[in-house]
Amino acid sequence: MGTPGSPATLVMGVLNVTPDSFSDGGRFEATDAAISHAHRLVSRGADIVDIGGESTRPGAERVDPAEEMERVLPVIRALAQEGVVVSIDTMRAATAEASVAAGASIVNDVSGGLADPRMAAVVAAADVDFVVMHWRAHSATMDAHDQYVDVVREVRDELAARVDALTAAGVRDERIILDPGLGFAKVADTNWPLLATMAEWSGGRRVLIGASRKRFLGTVIARPGVDAGDPARRDHATTAVTALAAQAGAWAVRVHDARASSDAVRVVSAWQNALDTTR
């Protein structure tokens, strides 16, 4: 995790090459449409494009591995050839391996390596950055696992166990990035303590925050006249989280609206620089 005065928080733009993602499923399913949207994300301030071929929305079912690769690999190859920094959002080791070969430089696994026992070996051999998310179950059943006595302590301990297992399997410690898994086995109120206590559960490692358009934001902003059930209506709330995460030193935020979050990060950086020069 960064600290005040460290380089600005990065913006990771979401690119769902799927028909069923919760926010923009189907819009960028075709390869040409996906590549065009990646260009828009970069032009609007995304430092990284995170490409996923399998929806992890609440209740989502698994997709066939061959279909997942068919969706993402042409997009990764095209963008990597243009010099775009690409992350592959996958729980499958075979997809991660093929994606790195195609040009991806980050593996973003929402299961933290739990869904596929080969993932640790693939990431270790590739020696790429690995986003390890807190995860308790696949999307179809994850909401039932929103059961915590102390969510901060439990997420910290479960992530620490994943880090230990991954480093034992050969993944270099400095390659590991932690993600608290907002919205995954955390429906509403259990998300906020994790955002408020990044330093407590991160252990000083880099942190990725993925709050964009998620249900728990809708719960907070819901009021008469506001359709908070529409994911796109949660963009302003997402930008607020970006600003707070950047102030807290997050390594990156994973977002749908790259321009708003990029602007927020720049404002936080300017504010922090002014504080640093007046102290």
Q: How many angstroms separate the Cα of 121 from the Cα of each of 36, 43, 50, 99, 220? A: 33, 35, 21, 15, 40
What is the rounded CA–CA span in Å between residue 258 and residue 265? 10
What is the rounded CA–CA span in Å between residue 198 and residue 51? 25
Q: Kind and range of the H or E element at 141?
A: none
Which residue is catalytic, options 156, 214, 215, 234? 214
Catalytic status, residue 214: yes
Which residue is catalytic, options 254, 259, 266, 279? 254
Residue 23 has φ and ψ, to the nearest 5°, of -105, -50
| Max CA pair span of the chain | 56
Cβ atoms of 117 and 165 within 8 Å: the answer is no
Cβ atoms of 161 and 190 within 8 Å: the answer is no
Placement of tokens 């902003």 in the chain: 221
Catalytic status, residue 254: yes
The residues annotated as belonging to the active site are 214, 254
